Structure 1
């Protein structure tokens, strides 16, 4: 250990009072100056405060065109999503691959996986007609007809039969 004695920078009571006053006054002055700086400037000019400018900023994103209400559109709007139509009368495998496989292939949202006998057994307890009804009307996260409303009831039932055939 060193024989030197540690000394404080404050040696007199006058220095102590000065340090205490400055340690309180400097932060208060800094806060006052920052508050003044934040509130003194004009952030918005008069043009941005005008009622027209405000109305333009809060205008809805879309509007309903009542002139075309009740008329039938010949083609969907550009960029509108379209359901994938299955060519002609589709068999169960085609419908499964185009519509059902997205969820039933991976078991998304607790959908019974294709070929998983244990998962399908719970649904088959109520009978095949109940499974058809769930497929046609939707259940839980599954929308009616698996989200492809262009499918006929027979095509949906064929897809259900295809999936059930894999577990029997």
Structure 2
């Protein structure tokens, strides 16, 4: 019976010796000098997946149409009727304002009235641009104002 026991004990030793030899070979294989990485390849591999570029579109003062001004400044309040602003295209709400005339509407838009700030909050708007916006907005509710030309 002792003969079998000795063979059983020797087998795990051989296994450990083989594992140690394999580990040593793997460690020695990685000891060589590594080649320097190519900078262009490295730059290509670490490129972002997407790139975002922002461009600011500057518009020359006085060149925007009434519709452009409405969409960028006026629509935020007049589309939903916020803070008592008459809604775009709401003829009954605009009728008393249109009856005051184009000049009165323009003066109120330039100076501000009730909750509306001067120039509707568009501090870069010229007086002519405000006139264009007033004409556009009032015309959606049935007025027949002539929008000043854009000069383009």
Q: TM-score by structure 1 length?
A: 0.48
* C-alpha distance in 2 between matches for 1:158 and 1:102: 17
Runs (5+) with no aligned partner, structure 1: 1-83
Per the alignment, in what secondary structure is the counterpart of residue 125 of structure 1?
A: helix
Whether 1:87 and 2:59 are equivalent positions in the alignment is: yes
Counterpart CA distance in 2 for 1:154 and 1:108 is 25
1:137 maps to 2:129: no
* Cα displacement string for residues 51-96 of structure 1 (whole angstroms, at most 9, x for unaligned residues): xxxxxxxxxxxxxxxxxxxxxxxxxxxxxxxxx9861210000000
CA distance in 1, matches of 2:57, 2:104: 26
Corresponding residue pairs, total? 85
Partner residue of 1:120 out of 94, 99, 105? 94
Q: Is the 8 A contact 1:85 1:150 kept in 2?
A: no
Q: Which runs of 5+ in 2 are unaligned?
A: 1-55, 143-152
Tell me which structure has the larger Cα radius of gyration: 2
* TM superposition outliers: structure 1 runs of 4+ over 4 Å: none
* Aligned CA-pair RMSD: 1.7
User: TM-score, normalised to structure 2's length?
Assistant: 0.53
